[in-house]
Amino acid sequence: MIPRVAILISGGGSNMVRLVEAMQAEGFATPVLVASNDAAASGLDRAAKLGVPTAAIDHRPFGRDRAAFEAELLKPILAAAPDVLCLAGFMRVLTPEFVGRFAGRMLNIHPSLLPKYPGLHTHQRALDAGDTEAGCTVHEVTPVLDDGPILGQARVAIEPGDSADTLAARVLVQEHRLYPAVLKRFASGERTPLLLG
């Protein structure tokens, strides 16, 4: 069975584009939906140009009521009937109830070598700590933020003079290598971590 994949984004969606392009080129999965919490996310246009249905549910009218936002977000997702849900720069924290619906089939990419630096400002935190390497992680999503079994990591050397921006740009290049490779393995049932240098 070729798995159906929905992708959640909040911004430019460069990881989403790489996932969709890899699925379309290699056929290991079918992209069935790209959804965003922001109708202005430029990634939605990029998804539409790639021929993938899109949906936007603005989280702001729901205030702190995450469950109400997620109830709306779920509608297009359930209609698309995905087997796998990929978070790709989706910047909303999901409730345990939402995560539980997709237990064992929701992936996220995070711009650090987890378990280091869950949350925000990962690159600055790596620089502030004097780390010599940084990187990115794809993991299964569990109710704990940026936790869950690690499915792949790519490492990036921190260079003298790096800023958070220069480091983020080099890590993003590796994110684009890592996420499609991990999704392809995941689609085939492979769960052992993929470690890229």
Q: Is 121 a catalytic residue?
A: no
Is residue 181 helix, strand or coil? helix
Which residue type sits at 88? A
Minimum separation from the CB atom of position 1 to ligand GAR (A): 27
AA identity, residue 164: A
Structure tokens at 127: 């620089």
**How many Cα neighbours within 13 Å face the side chain of 127?**
14
For residues 162 and 44, give the distance between their C-alpha atoms in angstroms, rounded to a whole number.
31
Per CB under 6 A, contacts with ligand GAR among 164-183 are 172, 175
Between 82 and 101, how does the x/- string for binding to ligand GAR read (CB under 6 A)? ------xx------------
Quote the CA–CA distance of 138 and 47 in Å, as a whole number: 21
Do residues 32 and 80 make contact, with C-beta atoms less than 8 angstroms apart?
Answer: yes
Q: Interface with ligand GAR includes 61 (CB under 6 A)?
A: no
Which position among 15, 37, 153, 174 is part of the footprint of ligand GAR (CB under 6 A)?
15
Q: Which of 2, 12, 96, 100 binds ligand GAR (CB under 6 A)?
A: 12
Task: Tell me if 148 contacts ligand GAR by CB under 6 A.
Answer: no
**In angstroms, rounded to a whole number, what is the distance separating the alpha carbons of residues 188 and 172?**
25
- Smallest separation (angstroms) from ligand GAR to the CB of 43: 6
Q: Does 37 bind ligand GAR (CB under 6 A)?
A: no
Rg, Å, the chain Cα set: 16
Contact between 109 and ligand GAR (CB under 6 A)?
A: yes
Q: Which is nearer to ligand GAR, 79 or 99 (CB)?
A: 99
Nearer to ligand GAR, 88 or 187 (CB): 88
Q: Considering the complex, state which of residue 57 and residue 134 has its C-beta at the smaller distance from ligand GAR.
A: 134
Judge contact between 84 and 187, C-beta under 8 A.
Answer: yes
Q: Which parts of this chain interact with ligand GAR (CB under 6 A)?
A: 9, 11-15, 43, 88-89, 109-111, 136, 172, 175
